[in-house]
Chains A and B, each alone.
Chain A
Amino acid sequence: MAEQKAIAGAPKAGCACSNEAATQAISRGRLMLWLAAGLAVWILLYLAIEPGASWLIYDLFKLDRTDHLAASLAFFLYEAPRVLLLLVMVVFAVGIVRSFFTPERTRQMLAGKREFAGNVMAAGLGILTPFCTCSAVPLFIGFVETGIPLGVTFSFLIAAPMINEVALVLLFGMFGWKVTLLYVVTGLSIAILAGWIIGRLKLERHVEDWVYQVKMGETADTSRQLDFPGRVYYGLDAVREIVGKVWPYVLAGIAVGAAIHGYVPEGLMASFMGKDVWWAVPAAVLIGVPIYSNAAGIIPVMQALMEKGAALGTTLAFMMAVIGLSLPETIILRKVLKWPLIAAFLGVVAAGIIIVGYVFNAVL
């Protein structure tokens, strides 16, 4: 190692080019340069949004500031690029953080944990571990086989889809950091408590029998030890995959939000999503569970509805139900869970979300 350093650091460039350590150092340096350039471009673009949008609307299109169309257009042209830029940045950063976590490692960390502490840890790891609904079954079996308690496994499975980076960016971009923080804290609490309750209910016999018959060997952790450039590429891949998938939903969501913003009269939503409508929260959850939309499409619409008089608790409950509970995930989980356990899972989580909705409607 010391020898390599000496060669790489040698002023004579003659042979350094064939030295692997040296070429790696160059590509690393270049990578830092690219990252710095990317960050600079990002900041410039971000700063250009507001003047750019108002120039387009008021100078180029010459719209009047009191016009409905101007209000809608301003909303869209300001919010859409801002949210997309934030999305690129956050998904990249989260991708780099995620490259340190694999489901295999998460499973090792959760194995042999006590119930309540295990639920807390599982919910936290659910946010950090890369997860996709389509992997819910192998992950479930893998966890159960290792002896991770059922309730702890559920804490993971509840937190992982509910608190994801796309939802966080959209919440932060549209609602600001206070609502984002509320969402994260209540989402985590629901995951921890719902998992804990499911564990207490002793529903192990309602796991499909074949799950317990699976003989899993030693799981080969195929993830390689990544170096710094490897993690950067992992982050870029995440951007390509996630932002590449959700950008149409972001645009569509913000477009609908913009239309509501400009054209729906103030206070319209108060009559059926307002604070004083006692049935609004359970209705929001009931409607929200079967709806399957990603966070990108639903959050901008909800923000616009809240401006028109929908209460925060009802809005939060609806978003949690849509994002956290989904019909496709339930159908996938049916392969490993019998109906009573599915019902318990949906019931406990939905009850948690309803409580959150009522609490915030009452307090705020």
Chain B
Amino acid sequence: MKIKILGTGCTRCNSLEKTVREAVKELGYDVGVEHVTDFKKIMEYSLLMTPGLVIDEKVVSSGSVPKKDEIKKMIKTAMEAGK
């Protein structure tokens, strides 16, 4: 499983990265979190607003910082679907 944060260095992008890292830690999963800042790569996910949250190559949120519980739920769902 792979989690990517699509951001351009904006405040909300950084706060999303922080929240995601906390969520992963609290869940106790061993998952890599990557912060993508290259516009060309970001646009491959065809979102219109940053920050974007990508779990297993699927955009699950864009333009907002979801609450930590919501992020945990998203990660859990993806984890179970991946098994």
Contact = CB atoms under 8 A, between A and B. Distances in A.
Interface of A: 102-104, 107, 130, 132, 134-135, 137-139, 141-142, 145, 210, 214-220, 222-223, 332, 335-336
Interface string B1-40: 0000000111011000000000000000000000000011
A353 to B, nearest CB: 27
A104 B63 CA distance: 11
Interface of B: 8-10, 12-13, 39-40, 42-44, 46-50, 58-63
A171 B49 CA distance: 28
B72 to A, nearest CB: 17
A139 B48 contact: yes
Contacts of A218: 46
Given A134-B10, A134-B13, A210-B40, A222 B46 contact: no
B40 A214 contact: yes
Contacts of B40: 210, 214
Given A214-B43, A216-B43, A222-B59, A134 B50 contact: yes
Nearest to A336: B39
Contact of A137 (B13, B39, B46, B58): B39
Contact of B8 (A102, A104, A134, A145): A134
A145 to B, nearest CB: 8
Nearest to B59: A220
Contacts of A130: 49, 63
A217 B58 CA distance: 12
B62 A222 contact: yes
Contact of B48 (A134, A142, A332, A335): A142
Nearest to A241: B12
A219 B10 CA distance: 22
Contacts of B12: 132, 134
24 contacts: A103-B48, A103-B49, A107-B48, A132-B12, A134-B9, A134-B12, A135-B50, A135-B63, A138-B39, A138-B47, A138-B48, A138-B49, A142-B48, A215-B44, A216-B43, A216-B44, A217-B44, A219-B46, A219-B48, A220-B46, A220-B58, A220-B59, A222-B60, A336-B39
Complex A-B, nearest 9 residue pairs according to Cβ-Cβ distance, in ascending order: A134-B10, A216-B46, A103-B48, A135-B49, A142-B48, A214-B43, A219-B46, A217-B46, A220-B59
Contacts of A132: 10, 12, 49
